[in-house]
């Protein structure tokens, strides 16, 4: 049996093709949701839109300090795995849920498969970097999206059990874009016109929990919107919303919305002139959708996007954000998508199926 452990928005989206593939092959599998994300707009909406079955197990861990949150997950995941005895635990990405899933499984002697293995930004001040390094070193199956990721692992001595599959985000985009085009009326709802607006997201701990950096991000976005004379939409992560209020920051000139469902967000991205973000998944989607991107961080674990000129790093200085935005507005958008052919889930599940223990 394959146990899929997930808990946050990007994991639900990026694991959805894996769940679908398990269903298609009629493979014995279960989904365990840690409850790291729990607000409707960060969690339930994706199960509904992506037509995913309810998780078989829900831990309802909720928010908390890193140790507290990860510790609760560890306890809960261990209980489920001890009872269910899966052959493989699959985790995706770099969240606390991933670390807890990989650690609980490996201590029980259950094989761990890490989807999106081998990403590195080489900044250990980011909680995500710690999580992804540890998850990789706990895994027996490492599903890398690209050769760059494979090389990162090789540098750390991990060469066995590494399989290049592409990133399941390509599968997710392809599986949902047509549906999104048919179903979403987000442009109409927000009063936007194709190619005449900008989209931004920001939620990284190091950006939004630091008043100076968050102020830089907001001022940068205001500046870009002003200079390019385009509406800028910021679907706002709950962490960011909370901090904007707490720090008393003014967001005049920016169109703040609730976090959007996947179908609306895909349409918003696909039709925008430029995307500004600190999100990992959004950097990838911008690249896949051929929309130029500016990343409001000092480093990225998605250097493939920079290499094809789909993305530029800007940090959080407003002047630099606006300079990079102007540059990216001029870029030719016919780059090659480095993240695969949309069949990553097929490869991942096929490999897991071939590695399951035979009965008896
Ligand atoms: C987490 C991941 C991050 C990932 C992001 C995806 C870690 C360390 N961080 O960050 O890598 O990019 O998810 O979005 O695992 N909140 C709500 N409702 C929710 C979830 C969170 O209101 O459903 C608020 C709470 O105030 C909470 C805060 O957001 O304290 C942060 O949530 P948390 O899960 O700790 O981290 P994220 O910033 O979401
Ligand atoms: N996303 C969404 N609605 C939004 C913002 C983002 O559906 O309002 C999706 C986006 O399309 C991408 C994923 O959420 O697939 C990225 O998640 P997030 O930025 O929260 O986390 P990260 O990828 O940085 O870990």
Helical (H) or strand (E) element with 43: none
214 and 158 in a common domain: no
Angle at 174 between CA 111 and CA 348, to 5 degrees: 15
CA 332 to chain centre: 25
Q: List beta partners, residue 194.
A: none
8 and 120 in a common domain: yes
214 and 75 in a common domain: no
Return the structure tokens found at 323.
């300079």
CA distances from 44 to 8, 37, 38, 54, 260 (A): 10, 9, 7, 9, 12
Does residue 336 belong to any structural domain of this protein? no
212 and 285 in a common domain: yes
In the chain, what percentage of residues exceed pLDDT 90? 98
Q: pLDDT at position 307, please?
A: 98
User: Is 103 within 8 Å of 134 (Cβ atoms)?
Assistant: yes
Q: pLDDT at position 322, please?
A: 98
Ligand 1 neighbourhood includes 16 CB (under 6 angstroms): no
With cut-offs at 50, 70 and 90, classify the pLDDT of residue 356: low
Tally the domains of the chain: 2
Q: pLDDT at position 360, please?
A: 37
347 and 271 in a common domain: no
Helical (H) or strand (E) element with 100: helix 96-107
Angle at 178 between CA 26 and CA 263, to 5 degrees: 85
221 and 191 in a common domain: yes
Ligand 1 neighbourhood includes 10 CB (under 6 angstroms): yes
Segment 158-198, tens digit of pLDDT: 999 999 999 999 999 999 999 999 999 999 999 999 989 99
301 and 242 in a common domain: yes
Segment 25-42, tens digit of pLDDT: 999 999 999 999 999 999
Q: pLDDT at position 126, please?
A: 96
Cα-Cα end-to-end distance for the chain: 14
Ligand 2 neighbourhood includes 33 CB (under 6 angstroms): no
Give the ligand at the shortest distance from the Cα of 241: 1
Side-chain half-sphere CA neighbours of 182 within 13 A: 5
157 and 8 in a common domain: yes
Least confident of 91-95, 229-233, 239-243, 354-358: 354-358
Minimum CA distance residue for ligand 2 atom 2: 262
**In the predicted model, what is the mean pLDDT of residues 287-304?**
98
**In the predicted model, what is the mean pLDDT of residues 15-33?**
98
Find the domain containing 156 and state its range: 2-167+341-355
79 and 34 in a common domain: yes
With cut-offs at 50, 70 and 90, classify the pLDDT of residue 89: very high
Query: What does the mean pLDDT of the chain come to?
Result: 97
Q: Which residue has the tokens 């679908």?
A: 20
With cut-offs at 50, 70 and 90, classify the pLDDT of residue 279: very high
Residue 36 Cα to ligand 1 middle (Å) = 7
CATH of the domain at 281: 3.40.50.2000
Does residue 93 belong to any structural domain of this protein? yes
């Amino acid at each position: 049996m394959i146990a899929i452990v997930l808990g946050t928005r990007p994991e639900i989206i990026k694991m959805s093709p894996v769940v679908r593939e398990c269903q298609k092959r009629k493979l014995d599998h279960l989904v365990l949701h840690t409850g790291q994300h729990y607000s409707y707009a960060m969690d339930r909406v994706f199960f509904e839109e992506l037509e995913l079955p309810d998780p078989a197990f829900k831990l309802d861990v909720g928010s908390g300090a890193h140790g507290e949150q990860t510790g609760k997950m560890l306890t809960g995941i261990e209980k489920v795995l001890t009872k269910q005895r899966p052959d493989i635990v699959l985790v995706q990405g770099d969240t606390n849920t991933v670390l807890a899933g990989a650690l609980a499984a490996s201590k029980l002697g259950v094989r761990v498969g890490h989807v999106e293995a081998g990403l590195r930004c080489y900044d250990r001040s980011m909680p995500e970097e710690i999580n992804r390094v540890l998850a990789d070193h706990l895994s027996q199956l490492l599903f890398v999206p690209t050769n760059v990721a494979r090389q990162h692992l090789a540098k750390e001595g991990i060469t066995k059990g590494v399989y290049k599959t592409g990133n399941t985000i390509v599968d997710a985009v392809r599986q949902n874009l047509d549906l999104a085009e048919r179903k979403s009326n987000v442009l109409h709802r927000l009063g936007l016109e194709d190619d005449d607006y900008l989209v931004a997201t920001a939620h990284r701990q190091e950006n939004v929990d630091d008043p100076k950096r968050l102020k830089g991000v907001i001022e940068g976005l205001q500046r870009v919107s002003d200079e390019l004379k385009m509406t800028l939409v910021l679907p706002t992560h709950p962490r960011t919303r909370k901090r904007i209020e707490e720090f008393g920051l003014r967001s005049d000139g920016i169109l703040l919305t609730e976090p959007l469902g996947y179908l609306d967000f895909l349409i918003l991205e696909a039709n925008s002139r430029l995307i500004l973000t600190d999100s990992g998944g959004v950097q990838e989607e911008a690249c896949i959708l051929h929309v130029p991107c500016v990343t409001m961080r000092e480093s990225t674990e998605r250097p493939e996007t920079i290499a094809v000129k789909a993305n530029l790093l800007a940090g959080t200085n407003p002047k630099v954000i606006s300079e990079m935005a102007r540059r990216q507005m001029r870029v030719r958008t016919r780059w090659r998508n480095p993240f695969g052919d949309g069949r990553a889930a097929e490869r991942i599940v096929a490999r897991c199926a071939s590695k399951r223990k035979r009965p008896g």
